[in-house]
Structures are given as C-alpha cells and as structure tokens.
C-alpha cells in the first residue's frame, strides 16, 4: 500500500514526510475488484503507460488480500475505509500532511474528515501490524 516510511528514522533525523497516493491509486476506495478489468480510471488501458505503471505497482493478489483484511478490520469501526486510511497515515508522528487527490469534490468528504479523526491505539496497532511488510519497501517482497 502507501506511506512506506520508517517513523523512528525520520524522527531521529528530524525529517518530515508528506506522502501522496494514500488510497493506493483508488484501491482503498473500493472502486476496483481483483477479478474485474477496469475500463476507465487509473488502472485502465485508457491511460496508456500511466495505467500500466499503476497496475504493475498495485494490481496483484497480495495487495487485494491485504485490502480484504483491512476491510474486515475497518468494517468493525463503521467508518469508511478512505477516512481511516488517511487517518492512519496521519497518526504516524513523522507525517506532517498528506497529498490527496480527487476527480470529484464528494470524494474529499471522507478523506478530509480524517484530519479530525483520532485512531484508537488498538486499531492503529492492528493496521500497523497488517501493513508492516509494506513499510519495508521492496525488501519485504
């Protein structure tokens, strides 16, 4: 997924991080399914090489399994995945902000609400554990 940062190193070096693509190209929005070929959007052929780059980066079984596990955890909260995904990123002390994108203004409702949402420490720990491999970069795959 996104936000691959090493919080302790960033804090030790007094570096701030502003991640982009917090919804993994839209995969965390629920817009895409592994068994469907997108006709439009970020993962589609209509975007040519750009779509191919996104598909190569995110479209694999491991990503979709993680998304399924995230959905199971997050469904217990009653909050939208998009809101909690951004709230989780912002809960990292090394993160100072996050770069959001939207093609329609209503897509910003939940992601902007994340700025005021405080993750429960138990939920944060569960999300951290589930996504630990992703924060290791390519070394974990």
pLDDT in tens, the chain (141 residues): 444 445 567 777 778 888 888 998 888 988 888 888 888 888 888 888 988 888 888 899 999 999 999 999 999 999 999 999 999 999 988 898 999 988 889 889 999 999 999 999 999 999 999 998 887 765 555
DSSP 20: B
> Euclidean distance between the first and final Cα of the chain, in Å?
12
* Per-residue confidence (pLDDT) for residue 6, from 0 to 100: 54
Please report whether residue 140 resides in a domain.
Answer: no
Query: Closest Cα partner for 81 from 92, 95, 66?
Result: 66
Please report whether residue 13 resides in a domain.
Answer: no
Helices (H), the chain: 7-12, 49-58, 61-75, 81-90, 108-113, 121-130
Domain check: are 97 and 31 in the same one?
A: no
Look at the chain and report how many structural domains it folds into. 2
Beta-carbon count within 10 A of 11 CB: 13
Beta-carbon count within 10 A of 108 CB: 13
- The model's pTM is 0.82
Domain check: are 66 and 128 in the same one?
A: yes
Cβ atoms of 42 and 101 within 8 Å: the answer is: no
Domain check: are 96 and 44 in the same one?
A: no
State the virtual CA torsion across 26, 28, 34, 39 in degrees, nearest 10.
Answer: -20
Domain check: are 52 and 102 in the same one?
A: no
| Parent domain of 29 | 25-59
Domain check: are 71 and 127 in the same one?
A: yes
* Per-residue confidence (pLDDT) for residue 37, from 0 to 100: 86
Domain check: are 87 and 47 in the same one?
A: no
Beta-carbon count within 10 A of 6 CB: 15
Domain check: are 70 and 122 in the same one?
A: yes
Q: Report the distance separating Cα 141 and Cα 132, nearest Å.
A: 12
Domain check: are 97 and 66 in the same one?
A: yes
Q: Which residues contact 101 (CB under 8 A, 6 or more apart)?
A: 20, 21
């Amino acid at each position: 997924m996104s936000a691959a940062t090493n919080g302790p190193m960033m804090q030790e070096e007094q570096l701030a991080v502003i991640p982009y693509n917090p919804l993994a190209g839209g995969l965390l929005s629920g817009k895409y399914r592994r068994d469907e070929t997108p006709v439009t959007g970020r993962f589609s052929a209509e975007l040519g090489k750009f779509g191919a780059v996104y598909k190569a980066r995110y479209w694999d079984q491991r990503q979709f399994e993680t998304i399924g596990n995230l959905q199971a955890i997050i469904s217990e909260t009653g909050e939208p995945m998009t809101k909690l995904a951004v709230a989780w990123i912002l809960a990292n002390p090394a993160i100072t902000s996050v770069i959001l994108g939207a093609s329609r203004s209503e897509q910003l409702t939940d992601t902007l609400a994340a700025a005021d949402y405080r993750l429960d420490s138990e939920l944060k720990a569960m999300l951290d554990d589930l996504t630990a491999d992703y924060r290791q970069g390519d070394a974990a795959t």
